[in-house]
Each structure stands twice: as structure tokens, then as C-alpha cells.
């Protein structure tokens, strides 16, 4: 193959800079697929009829984008990713469903993301500014927020909610219908079968709460006063051995729920249907 026809990251950036769309000659792009300005499509990639790719997005070699899938602007999709293939759910009957991905995500090698199902709302979403490392999987009807990191070979089952800035370690398996809270971090090789509280550090088989994600809070710019209130809330919720309802009442009595972060933590726990990981 001639050197000038090989798609590289440099040629993708050049296409973006020119505002041109660059599709490698070996790629198969359906005539009805919609590609924005500056999109770069690598060798042997296949893009289906109902796919929309936002401007400035670079798609590497041997990728498959299919289904009713929408990618926003300035995403990077690396070799072998499969985005929008039908849900791995026996209840799926071929109904039209959606996959919506935001902007500036890095979707690394061989990541798989499935659209929704009729039984789960019909839509899978991934926010913006996320990082999905190699072989990560997001199943049907998941709702994943902004600035989320999912490390290598971690897998989300169906109907999972991941709030903003959560970090999911490598080889983590997350049970269907679980929620993962804002700025939570889950250590590698954990088995997650209950909700992960916001701002927590969790790890284990099954996962357990080990404390507050202090480094994550610092990096997110959470004020010291709010961090101190969260420290106290975690001691009451996870170290006092109080029943959950009693612990929540204790926090209200201490006046801590006036802080937005503590209010979010309390409401997250109150709304849990699967139960929350304990210490």
C-alpha cells in the first residue's frame, strides 16, 4: 500500500486543521452516514447508514460504527473499537435504539459500546471528556457522565449509571442496575454488586468502602470546608456502625447536609435500590 494512503494521527490532525474530511480508500462508509468537517476515518473502518460523526473526530483503523449512533465533536476512536453494535441482551428484539456520545472522548483500542433497549429507555449515553481504555465495555442502557475514566478491560453491565468524574479501575466488573457516584474511585479487579457512594474509595471482591477519595476531591477543586464535612459524613455513615437511616438522621442533626456535596451523598444513599457498599 502506498505510503501516502495510510491514515495516521498526523494526517487526521492535518485534515482537521484544513476543515476537510479524510476517509481512507479502504474504509467503507455508507452514503447516508453523516460525517462532520475535519473527520478522519482510518483504513478498513466500517461506518453504517445511521451513524453521525461530529466535526474534528478521528476514527482509527479497523473500527466499526453502526446502529443509530451519534458521536460529538473532537473524539478520538482507536484501532478496533466497535461502537453501536446491537445489545448483548436476549430480550432485544431488533427495535430501534440509540447510542449518544458527547465530545472530546478518547475511546481506546477494542472498546465496545452498545445502544439501549426498549426495556431500558432505548438509549445508552456517554458524556464528554472521558477516557475509555483498551477493551473496556459499556453495555445497553448505561448512562455515563462527563470526565469518567474506565480502565482496561473493565465492564459495565446493562442499566448502570455512572456519575461525573468517576474512575473505574482495570478488570472491574459492575453488576447491572448499579449506580456509581460522583468522584468515586474503584480499585482494579473489584466486583461491584451494590451502589458505590459519591466521593468514595472502594475496592474488593465484593467492593467495600475504604474511605474518602481525598486526592480526587483535591484535583476537582472541592473546597477544604466541604472536604471536612464529607470526612465527618463518611465517619458517621461508614464507621459508626449506625443503621443507615439513623446515620442519615444524625447527619441532618449535625447540620452537615447544608453542604452541596454532603446533600448529594445523602440523596444518593436515600435513592439506592440495590443498597450501598459498606465499609
Tell me the pLDDT tens digit for each residue of 130-180: 999 999 999 999 999 999 999 999 999 999 999 999 999 999 999 999 999
User: Do 40 and 142 lie in a common domain?
Assistant: yes
**Domain of 154: which CATH number?**
2.160.10.10
Q: Does 258 participate in catalysis according to the annotation?
A: no
What is the count of structural domains for the chain? 2
125 shares a domain with 11: yes
Same domain, 151 and 51: yes
On whether both 155 and 71 belong to a single domain, the answer is yes
**Candidate list 50, 137, 140, 159, residue with the active-site label:** 140
Residue 179: inside a domain:
no
Mark whether 145 and 25 lie in a shared domain.
yes
Q: Which of 127, 130, 145, 158 is catalytic?
A: 158
Of 112, 140, 159, which residue constitutes the final position of a domain? 159
pLDDT of 256 = 66
26 and 140 both lie in a single domain? yes
Domain boundary among 130, 159, 188: 159
Mean pLDDT across the chain: 93
Q: Is 164 a catalytic residue?
A: no
228 and 148 in one domain?
A: no
What pLDDT does 188 receive? 98
In this structure, the answer to whether residues 28 and 112 fall within a common structural domain is yes
- Out of 124, 141, 159, a domain closes at 159
Read off the pTM: 0.92
Q: How large is the average pLDDT for residues 16-38?
A: 90
Residue 177 within any structural domain of the chain: no
Q: Are residues 227 and 123 in the same domain?
A: no
Residue 180 lies in a domain: no
**Active-site annotation holder among 141, 164, 173, 181:** 141
Domain range spanning residue 245?
219-270
Sign of the C-alpha dihedral, residues 206, 210, 211, 212?
negative
The 10s digit of each residue's pLDDT in 43-94 is 999 999 999 999 999 999 999 999 999 999 999 999 999 999 999 999 999 9
Q: Which backbone phi and psi does 207 adopt, to 5 degrees?
A: -65, 145
**Residue 152 and residue 50 in one domain:** yes
Asked if residue 106 belongs to a domain, the reply is yes
Question: Does any domain span residue 7?
Answer: yes
The CATH number that applies at residue 244 is: 1.20.1180
- Is 141 a residue of the active site? yes
Amino acid at each position: 500500500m502506498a505510503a501516502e494512503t495510510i491514515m495516521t494521527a498526523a494526517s487526521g490532525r492535518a485534515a482537521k486543521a484544513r476543515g476537510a474530511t479524510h476517509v481512507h480508500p479502504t474504509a467503507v462508509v455508507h452514503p447516508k452516514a453523516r460525517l462532520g468537517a475535519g473527520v478522519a476515518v482510518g483504513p478498513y473502518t466500517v461506518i453504517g447508514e445511521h451513524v453521525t460523526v461530529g466535526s474534528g473526530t478521528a476514527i482509527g483503523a479497523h473500527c466499526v460504527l453502526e446502529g443509530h449512533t451519534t458521536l460529538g465533536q473532537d473524539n478520538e476512536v482507536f484501532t478496533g473499537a466497535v461502537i453501536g453494535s446491537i445489545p448483548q441482551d436476549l430480550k432485544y428484539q431488533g427495535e430501534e435504539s440509540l447510542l449518544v456520545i458527547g465530545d472530546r472522548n478518547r475511546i481506546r483500542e477494542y472498546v465496545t459500546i452498545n445502544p439501549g433497549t426498549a426495556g431500558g429507555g432505548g438509549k445508552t449515553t456517554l458524556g464528554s471528556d472521558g477516557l475509555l481504555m483498551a477493551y473496556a465495555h459499556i453495555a445497553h442502557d448505561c448512562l455515563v457522565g462527563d470526565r469518567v475514566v474506565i480502565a482496561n478491560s473493565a465492564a459495565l453491565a446493562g442499566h448502570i449509571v455512572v456519575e461525573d468524574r468517576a474512575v473505574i479501575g482495570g478488570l472491574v466488573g459492575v453488576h447491572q442496575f448499579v449506580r456509581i457516584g460522583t468522584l468515586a474511585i474503584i480499585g482494579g479487579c473489584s466486583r461491584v454488586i451494590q451502589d458505590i457512594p459519591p466521593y468514595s474509595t472502594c475496592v474488593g471482591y465484593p467492593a467495600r468502602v475504604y474511605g474518602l477519595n481525598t486526592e480526587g476531591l483535591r484535583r476537582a477543586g472541592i473546597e477544604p470546608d466541604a472536604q471536612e464535612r464529607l470526612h465527618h459524613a463518611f465517619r458517621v455513615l461508614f464507621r459508626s456502625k449506625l443503621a443507615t437511616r439513623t446515620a442519615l438522621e444524625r447527619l441532618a442533626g449535625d447540620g452537615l447536609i447544608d453542604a452541596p456535596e454532603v446533600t448529594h451523598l445523602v440523596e444518593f444513599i436515600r435513592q439506592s435500590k440495590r443498597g450501598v457498599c459498606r465499609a
